[in-house]
Chain A
Amino acid sequence: MFGEDDLVRQHKGRADLIGNIIILCFLVILARLWYLQVFQGELFHKFSIENRLRPEVIKAPRGMIFSRNSQLLTDNIPRFDAIIVPQYLKNRTVTLKKLAQVLSMTEKNIKATLKKNRGQARYRPVTIKKNISLKEVSIIETENSKMPGVRVNTFISREYRDGNAGAHLLGYISEINQRQLPRYRKRDSYDYKLGDFIGQAGIEEKFDLQLRGDDGYEFVEVDARGRMRRNIRSNKLFPGIENKPVKPGNNIRLTIDRDMQMSAFKALEEKVGSAVAVDIKTGEILAMVSRPAFDPTNFSKGLTKEYWNSLVQDERNPLRDRSIQEHYAPGSTFKTFTAIAALEEKIVSAEQELKCGGTYRLGRRVYHDWRRGGHGLTNVYKALRRSVDVYFYQIGVQLDIDDLARYAKMFGFGEKTGISLSREIPGLIPTREWKLKKSGEEWQLGETLSCVIGQSFVLATPLQLAMAYATIANGGTLLRPYLIKEIFSNSGEIIERYEPKEVGKIKVSPKNLRAVQKGLYQVANHPRGTAYWYRGKGLKMAGKTGTAQVRSMSKKELFARCEEMPYKDRHHGIFVGYIPFDNPKIAVSAVVEHGCHGSSAAAPVVRDIATTYMKKYYPNEYKKNVEAQNKEYVRQLREKKRKQEALERTKKEEEIIEQGPAFQMGG
Chain B
Amino acid sequence: MNRSAIVDFLKRYDFTFFGISLAIFIMGVCNLYSATHASSSEVMAGLYKVQTAKFFLSFILGAAISFITPKNYFRYSYFFYLVSVILLILVLVLGHKGMGAQRWILLGPVRLQPSEITKIAVILVLGRWYAKTNADKELGFKALIIPALLVFIPTILIVAEPDLGTGLLVVLIFLVVSFYRRLKWRTIGILVVLGLLSGGVMYKFGLKEYQKKRIVTFLNPGADARGSGYNAIQSKIAIGSGQFLGKGYLKSSQASLNYLPENHTDFVFSIFNEEHGFLGSLILISLYIILLFRFIWLAQSVPRMFDSIVVIGIMSLFFWHTVINMGMVMGLMPIVGLPLPMMSYGGSSLLTFGICTGMATSISNARNLF
Identify the A interface with B (CB < 8 A): 1-2, 4-5, 7-12, 14-15, 17-19, 22-23, 25-26, 28-30, 32-34, 36-38, 40-45, 47-49, 52-53, 55, 57, 87, 118-119, 121-123, 182, 185-186, 189, 191, 193, 217, 238, 240-242, 244
Chain A hits for B327, CB < 8 A: 29
Residue of A nearest to B71 (CB): A1
**Segment at the A interface, from B59-67, B116-124, B164-172, B236-244:** B236-244
In the bound assembly, the distance between CA atoms of A30 and B315 in angstroms comes to: 20
A12: which B residues are within 8 A, CB to CB?
300
Given known contacts A11-B180, A121-B258, A123-B258, A55 and B278 CB-to-CB distance under 8 angstroms: no
Q: Which of B41, B225, B241, B319 contacts A48 (CB 8 A)?
A: B241
B277 touches A26 (CB 8 A): no
B254 interfacial contact with A, CB 8 Å: yes
* A41→B242 contact, CB < 8 A: yes
Residues of the A chain whose Cβ atoms lie less than 8 Å from the Cβ of B181: 11, 14
- Given A23-B289, A37-B242, 4 further pairs, Cβ under 8 A: A8-B308, A26-B323, A29-B332, A36-B239
> Could you say which residues of chain B place their CB within 8 Å of the CB of A17?
179
Q: Is the beta-carbon distance between B227 and A242 smaller than 8 angstroms?
A: yes
CA distance A263 to B12 in the complex (A): 94
| Bound-complex Cα distance A1 to B236 (A) | 52
Q: Tell me whether A15 and B299 are in contact in the complex, defined as CB-CB below 8 angstroms, given that A2-B370, A7-B136 are known contacts.
A: yes
Cβ-defined contact, A217 with B182, below 8 A: no
Shortest CB distance A224–B (Å): 10
For window 316-345 of B, CB contacts with A under 8 Å fall at: 319, 323, 326-327, 330-332
A157 to chain B, nearest CB (A): 23
- Within the complex, what minimum Cβ distance (angstroms) separates A221 from chain B? 12
Q: Are A33 and B234 in contact (CB under 8 A)?
A: no
Range for the number of chain B residues in contact with chain A: 35 or more
Please give, as numbers and ranges, the residues of chain B lying within 8 Å of A119 by CB-CB distance. Answer: 40-41
A44 touches B236 (CB 8 A): yes
Contact of B253 with A by CB under 8 A = yes
Chain B residues whose CB sits within 8 angstroms of the CB of A122 once the complex forms: 40, 257-258
Chain A to chain B contacts (Cβ below 8 Å), 22 pairs: A1-B370, A8-B299, A8-B304, A8-B308, A18-B176, A18-B315, A22-B292, A26-B323, A29-B323, A29-B326, A33-B278, A36-B236, A37-B278, A41-B243, A41-B244, A42-B243, A44-B237, A48-B237, A52-B259, A55-B227, A55-B230, A242-B227
| Number of A-B residue pairs at CB separation under 8 A | 161
Within 8 Å by CB of B273, from A33, A40, A42, lies: A33
Q: Is B293 engaged at the interface, CB distance under 8 Å to the other chain?
A: yes
A29 near B285: Cβ-Cβ < 8 Å: yes
Contact A238 B233 (CB under 8 A): yes
Which residue from A1, A14, A48, A118 sits with its C-beta under 8 Å from B180? A14
Contacts of A42 in B (CB 8 A): 243
In this assembly, does B191 line the interface, its C-beta being within 8 Å of a C-beta of chain A? Answer: no
B285 engages A26 (CB within 8 Å): yes
Within the assembled complex, what's the spacing in Å between the Cα atoms of A87 and B233? 20
Residues of the B chain whose Cβ atoms lie less than 8 Å from the Cβ of A123: 257-259
Whole-angstrom CA separation of A25 from B302 in the bound complex: 26
Q: Which residues of A contact B288 (CB under 8 A)?
A: 26
Beyond A44-B240, A48-B241, A122-B40, is A1–B304 a contact (Cβ under 8 Å)?
Answer: yes
Interchain CB contact (< 8 A) of B289 among A26, A32, A185: A26
Q: Is the CB of B302 within 8 A of A57?
A: no
A8 partner, pick from B40, B41, B257, B302, beta carbons under 8 A: B302
Inter-chain CA distance A186–B100, complex, in Å, is 8
Alpha-carbon distance A191/B218, docked complex (angstroms) = 13
CB of B312 closer than 8 Å to a CB of A: yes
Q: Which residues of A contact B312 (CB under 8 A)?
A: 15, 18
Minimum distance in angstroms from A6 CB to a CB of chain B: 9
B201 within 8 A of A: no
Considering only CB atoms, which chain B residue lies closest to A119 in the complex? B41
Q: Which of B182, B226, B237, B281 contacts A47 (CB 8 A)?
A: B237
* Nearest B residue (CB) for A56: B226
Closest to A16 in B: B296
Beta-carbon contact of B293 and A57 below 8 Å: no
CB-based contact A32/B258 at 8 Å: no
Q: Which of A7, A12, A36, A182 has the most CB of B within 10 A?
A: A36
Find the A residue at minimum CB distance from B281: A33
Q: Are B300 and A37 in contact (CB under 8 A)?
A: no
Q: Are B308 and A22 in contact (CB under 8 A)?
A: no
Q: Choose among B241, B258, B281, B330 the residue that contacts A41 (Cβ–Cβ < 8 A).
A: B241
Please state if A55 and B226 are interface contacts (CB–CB under 8 Å): yes
CB of A34, distance to nearest CB on chain B (Å): 6
In Å, the complex CA distance between A10 and B137 comes to 10
| Nearest chain B CB to A22 CB, angstrom units | 5
